[in-house]
Amino acid sequence: MKTATFKIWRGDAKSGTFRDYTTDVAEGMVVLDAVHDIQRTQAPDLACRWNCKAGKCGSCSAEVNGMPKLMCMTRLSELPLEKPVTIEPMKAFPVIKDLVTDISWNFQVKKTRRTVPGEWSKRISIVCRNSGNASSVIFVRTSATFCATTRCMKNL
């Protein structure tokens, strides 16, 4: 069985640092599996949010090697395991603890959005939480929603 090193961000809104963890890697594992193994064996206090483990909810979003990813869909076989895999909270949202961020902004936006099924919604300006500047204007189809956590479209 292969082993891999993970640099996982640990901390809260005030401060934090990366800590190294090594765990066994098996065929078919995803990043979330490795994080759960690290929680189980080395860091039971590691905070991580997840729900469906099927790539539908976006709860397990994090930045893996600097890119926004769903940890449940990011296969370890697709990552370069010869160097440490870096896992950190999404930079677009305020950190609560470790890999958990405050995503309440998503729910506030969803409450204010009104669409009619089967029609295209009006243009929605997606505002980047870090800079405050409008980062893009997109069309959102009513049968899908823009997931700011993973920066992708999710079908409902």
Residue 48 has pLDDT above 80, yes or no: yes
What pLDDT score was predicted for residue 154? 45
Highest mean pLDDT range out of 1-10, 54-63, 105-114, 136-145? 1-10
What pLDDT score was predicted for residue 110? 66
Mean pLDDT value of segment 18-42: 97
Residue 2 has pLDDT above 80, yes or no: yes
Between these two residues, 113 and 84, which has the higher pLDDT value?
Answer: 84
Highest mean pLDDT range out of 39-43, 54-58, 88-92, 102-106? 39-43
What does the buried/exposed string (b/e) look like for 27-53 if buried means 16 or more CB atoms within 10 Å of the residue's CB? eebbbbbbbbbbeeeebeebbbbbeeb
What gap in Å lies between CA 71 and CA 139, rounded to an integer? 27
